[in-house]
Structures are given as C-alpha cells and as structure tokens.
Structure 1
Amino acid sequence: MSTLPTPSHPAPTEAQQLESALRDRLINSGEYDRLLILLKQRLDKTGWQDQVRGIAREQARGDNVKLLSLVDQVEPTAFGLIPAEVTQEMEKLMAEFVKKNVE
C-alpha cells in the first residue's frame, strides 16, 4: 500500500525513483550477484581480504572491543586499501549496466 507524501516523508524525487528502479533491476536480473562474486574474486586476488583481516586482528587485541566499534575503526582503512584498478573495473561495469537500463 502506498502512502501519501507528508512534510516528514516527501514524495521521492525523480532521481530517487530512477535509483530505486535501477537497484531493483540490478538485483532482479542477477547482475548484482554476478558483480558481487566478481568483486570478491578481484579483492581476493589482490590480497585485500587478508590485509583487512590483519588490521582487524590488530585492532581487536584491545580489551572489551565491541564489534561495531571495530567495524567503525577498520572500515575507512579497508575502503582505502581497495586497489584503484578494482574500483575502476567495478565502476565501468556499473556504468555499462546503467547505460543499458536507462531509457
């Protein structure tokens, strides 16, 4: 059931509607899963996961480390360690998907 827009919940913009439609198509087409598998393969090939795991282990050696705190500490470094060529490849594949699916 759709709800009417209110001041606290305005109607989605055209850009938000397009983003939502693309996200749905990406998932429903199976392309999301394919890209996720490819991303994991590329990151594994570069040793990224091992690097991030090592950083997380170092950070977790403290007393009473909470999972969410650990994620907050490690996440920025992990994103920074993603090789540029992996990022560029994923961006290219996503751009191709958008180009094929936007009318």
Structure 2
Amino acid sequence: MKASIKRPPSPDAEIDRNREPTTVQATVNMKLIESEEKERLKELLREKLVECGWRDEMKSVCREIARKNGRKNVTVDELVDAITPKGRASVPDSVKADMLHRIRSIVGSTSL
C-alpha cells in the first residue's frame, strides 16, 4: 500500500521501522556486503553511468544550478537535494535492468 500524502503513516509502521531490519531488501543488502559483491556492483554501476553519459548530464545540471544561484551561494547539500530526484529518474532502464539481473543472479547463487 502506498503512503498517503494527506495522512501520516500508522503507528505500527513507525514501530516496524525502528526494529532490526528483516525485509528482503535488508537481507539482500547484508548478503551483498558479506560476499563483497556490493562494492563490485557499485563500481560496475559507476562505469555504466559514465558510459551512457548520465554522469556528464548530472555535471551539467550541477553547473547550471551553480550558474543560476551564483557559484559562491550554492552548497554541496543544495546541489545534492536539487539533482537527486532528476538523477534517479534519468538512470537508463537498461542500466537498471542489468543491475537488477546481476543482483538476482548473485542472490540466487547464495543461500538466504
């Protein structure tokens, strides 16, 4: 169920967030860290994003924000806040699909 914009999450949802992570995502993350695959996947992702021009696109967005606000009037945190939604949305679907496939194959080869 999606969270509603108009109403806050239920108290039970807040309690669950404070517990030890038991979600599939947390388990997969733990397995990737334990098998040392997480760092390799991060490096591969960096390479793919450079190859497809995503990194250059994000650089130009940052430069435009800096020009618009004045280079001395912009902080790294402001840049990150400004480009994060655009950056996540602009990752090519082929890169997302490839990374998901790799994660699934790694998780499939290790026992959860």
The normalised TM-score by structure 1 is 0.75
Over 3 Å counting, the alpha-carbon distance change for 1:50 and 1:93 in structure 2 is same
Q: Judge which range, 50-59 or 93-102, deviates more.
A: 93-102
TM superposition shift of 1:50: 0.6
Matched residue, 1:97: 106
Structure 1 runs (4+) greater than 4 angstroms displaced: 8-11
For residues 17-32 of structure 1, the aligned pairs below 5 Å read 19-32=25-38
Over 3 Å counting, the alpha-carbon distance change for 1:95 and 1:71 in structure 2 is same
Q: Which amino acid aligns with 2:104?
A: A
**Does 1:86 pair with 2:102?**
no
Higher relative contact order (CA 8 A, sep 6+): 2
TM superposition shift of 1:25: 2.5
**Does 1:47 pair with 2:53?**
yes
Report the count of equivalent residues.
95
5+ residue gaps in structure 1? 1-7
Over 3 Å counting, the alpha-carbon distance change for 1:29 and 1:55 in structure 2 is same
Structure 2 CA distance for aligned equivalents of residues 12 and 34 of structure 1: 26
Identical pairs, percent: 28
Over 3 Å counting, the alpha-carbon distance change for 1:83 and 1:19 in structure 2 is closer
5+ residue gaps in structure 2? 1-14
CA RMSD of aligned residues (A): 2.4
**Does 1:74 pair with 2:83?**
yes
Structure 2 CA distance for aligned equivalents of residues 79 and 101 of structure 1: 28
